[in-house]
């Protein structure tokens, strides 16, 4: 986590998803071995949407599609989206 924060700071990257969703967990990955992953909700934030400062203000509508993790043959990552009005 510290290394990721260093990369973000060094590049001046803006975390669009956190800007849009300031509170709570932003997990996008959960153990594939945990059948009760949604109840336990112990995941990791594996996927990010970052932008450079010049376009960060245009970013909005971020979301993590948690429901995908509940599919019959899910990936261990849930899609993370953001929209940009450029």
Q: Find out whether 31 and 39 touch, Cβ atoms under 8 Å.
A: no
**pLDDT (tens digit per residue) in 20-31:** 999 999 999 988
Q: What is the pTM of this model?
A: 0.84
In the three-class reduction of DSSP (H, G, I as helix; E, B as strand; rest coil), residue 85 is classed as: coil
- Taking CA 65 as the corner, what is the angle to CA 72 and CA 39, rounded to the nearest 5 degrees? 65
Which residues partner with 59 through β-bridges?
84
d(CA 32, CA 34): 6
Whole domain around residue 28: which residue ranges? 2-84
Measured in degrees and rounded to the nearest 5, phi and psi for residue 81 equal: -125, 155
pLDDT digits (tens, 9 = 90+) for 27-84: 999 887 778 888 888 899 999 999 999 999 999 999 999 988 888 887 878 999 999 9
Q: How many domains does the chain have?
A: 1
Residue 17 main-chain phi, psi, to 5 deg: -65, -45
């Amino acid at each position: 986590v510290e290394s990721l924060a260093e990369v973000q700071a060094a590049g001046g990257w803006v975390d669009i998803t956190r800007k849009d969703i300031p509170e709570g967990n932003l997990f996008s990955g959960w153990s594939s071995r945990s059948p009760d992953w949604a109840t336990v909700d112990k995941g990791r934030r594996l996927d990010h949407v970052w932008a450079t400062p010049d376009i960060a203000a245009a970013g909005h509508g971020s979301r993590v599609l948690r429901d995908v993790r509940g599919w019959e043959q899910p990936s261990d990552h849930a899609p993370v989206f953001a929209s940009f009005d450029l």
